A and B are shown apart, each in its own frame.
Chain A
């Protein structure tokens, strides 16, 4: 599979990717499936993880994702805009068995297009596709919404792993790799402690 490959020869690009969507749609489960190949039937509501990283090897380049999960701040509509600032990609997740989460997903897409990085790559993921019998959102509807709004769409299942790697690979393909500038202002200072003087290096555009 494309994921989890060691950095191939060629250039490595690092991108910030954020997950958005209602509570319990499966954001953390998608990340866990992609990064660790795991799935938990009783995944706890997210606390504890700041972000995880995973690489995707394409033909001539390697894309390293810095993946951010919401830490539950969206639960009471209190997600901070800083969360998606500087993100190169966003996965907006909804649960195909719950129409409300699809509506909420559309609101996230709108907010990202208004406030996010102007070149952000947005993917809409209809998760829990294994629960087809309880389906409330048809893929055609989501597909046509996605194409109307210039984003791309996939149905996924973190449980069965269907389309999970494919989703991240598709995003990796779409990300611009001509400019060596993964995050805006890539010449910033990396604050990392090293007891005193002259510690940090200037942050390089690509590693």
Chain B
């Protein structure tokens, strides 16, 4: 029996299938907690759906025809193109995990230069093009922003200062009168004096009405700052809207010299699953990708199937390898949806355009930015779901000098039957693609179109102890993904990870 088979056939606290970023983070967290973890992948590389591809893999995946040329694309080995492009919110959960686990030591990060918001042209039929505006949040930015009317500039300044100043966890008092009895409130000083605001009672709509901000301002506050993907902020509790805006504001000042709330790792996001995999290995996790010494596969196409006990709970992961089956015995299996056909349901599709460029957007160039995020609020594009543009460059070591890579993503809204990825992209991403076709725009050297279905588990896994992650959504930041991981951790272990406490402890140790 081969060396790896003997190891495979042991008894494990958990077997993890797929080395995507969510799975690697979970196996890292489980290993740190002292669990004995076996982590497998049917690919011979790390990252699964969230890998970063080199230029050859990229051209192969999208069947670009002619091989990449150095004359056109610069130093070919310098490209690293994310398959699930996302930025990391500096004050968000993922950074706390990176600190708590010290995984941040394995990687280098750099701030993203700019956070932008898209506005459609006033008259859509006039042949005008939409514009990309820097998100104006500091009083100084608000003053110089062409997005805000004169009156609105002052209101915005007051509003963001107030949002940054309140403590969401600590109401300033309780109403004692009438219908609001025992309801907590926060105060603001307005034209007519101090005013009590019942943030737990109000929804987002009521909250913004009270402030009297213009619709366009509310739109970028909710979509670009609070990161709502649609209009659900209207009925969400006002306190949630405020704390989401706070996260954005705090992230902007989380590290010195930041001009956006986002971080991104050097060499691309594919480094993230690898760093968490190393964390797991350092804490005793065992890794088996699908390759032997000379690179040929060790798992067959139907391997890594599940075996169940009589009571319906999972009992192991089976590897067939010819006639002889080896079973990794375990009472907990974790993995991405692609390993569990029949246990997941479709939740829609993501469509994405990937552009390789030799110039940034004009708006970025003006600000001297080499990386940015642009959010296109759904209403500005006549859609229900926002569009996300994510652009980075040699500054983050994902493209050769002078080259850029841009990703446009959204959730597919219309029917897709019989349509090519390119046709879907042109329908769903039109407002974003126009940025690269308007006069004076950087013409993409290459433009690739991707579309893929997303899945969610049918059950939460607590019955059969098979815990399945959700596919990555179209957002260009990590907040939704990290919540899925933390929730899975809770279901798997029955314990909640208190990231704030852990991150504080980790930093005290340093």
Contact = CB atoms under 8 A, between A and B. Distances in A.
Nearest to B98: A191
A189 B111 contact: yes
Contacts of A201: 256
Contacts of B98: 191
Interface stretch (A123-131, A142-150, A163-171, A180-188): A180-188
Given A82-B106, A185-B397, A197 B253 contact: yes
Contact of B109 (A51, A82, A188): A188
B110 A185 contact: yes
Nearest to B295: A77
A76 B288 contact: yes
Interface in A112-150: 115
A82 B271 contact: yes
B293 A77 contact: yes
Interface string A79-99: 011110110000000000000
Interface in B223-275: 250, 253-258, 263, 266-267, 270-271, 274-275
B471 interface: no
A5 interface: no
A52 interface: no
A50 interface: yes
Contact of B507 (A85, A187, A194, A202): A194
B7 A76 contact: yes
A71 B419 CA distance: 47
Contacts of B274: 80-83
A2 interface: no
Interface stretch (B277-285, B311-319, B332-340, B431-439): B277-285
B53 interface: no
Interface size classification for chain A:
35 or more
Given A185-B266, A198-B254, A76 B287 contact: yes
Interface string B46-74: 10000000000000000000000000000
A86 B503 CA distance: 26
A197 to B, nearest CB: 5
A186 to B, nearest CB: 8
Contacts of A86: 108, 266-267
Contacts of A83: 274, 278
B104 interface: yes
Contacts of A195: 504, 507
Contacts of B395: 185
A86 B277 CA distance: 18
A151 interface: no
A73 B99 contact: no
B99 A192 contact: yes
Contacts of A196: 250
Contacts of B111: 189
B108 A77 contact: no
B291 interface: yes
Contact of A183 (B77, B104, B108, B396): B108
A11 interface: no
A189 B110 contact: yes
Nearest to A184: B397
A80 B46 contact: yes
A120 to B, nearest CB: 13
Given A71-B282, A76-B287, A83-B278, A203 B503 contact: no
Contacts of B46: 80-82
A9 interface: no
A77 B289 contact: yes
B256 A191 contact: no
B506 interface: yes
A77 B290 CA distance: 9
A203 B104 CA distance: 13
Interface string A21-53: 000000000000000000000000001111100
Nearest to A115: B77
Contacts of A48: 282-284
B255 A49 contact: no
Nearest to B509: A193
B417 interface: no
A205 interface: no
A196 B46 CA distance: 32
A115 B80 CA distance: 12
A7 interface: no
B102 interface: yes
B125 interface: no
Contact of A188 (B110, B289, B503): B110
A59 interface: no
Nearest to B271: A82
B283 A47 contact: yes
B388 to A, nearest CB: 22
A88 B2 CA distance: 35
B440 to A, nearest CB: 30
A194 B509 CA distance: 11
Contacts of B4: 76
Interface in A150-174: none
Nearest to B102: A50
Nearest to B2: A76
Contacts of B167: none
Interface of B: 4, 7, 46, 77, 95-96, 98-100, 102, 104-111, 250, 253-258, 263, 266-267, 270-271, 274-275, 277-278, 281-284, 286-289, 291-293, 295, 395-397, 503-504, 506-507, 510
Interface of A: 47-51, 71-73, 75-78, 80-83, 85-86, 104, 115, 183-185, 187-203
17 contacts: A47-B281, A47-B282, A47-B283, A48-B282, A50-B105, A50-B282, A51-B105, A72-B281, A76-B288, A77-B291, A82-B278, A86-B267, A115-B77, A191-B98, A193-B503, A193-B507, A198-B253
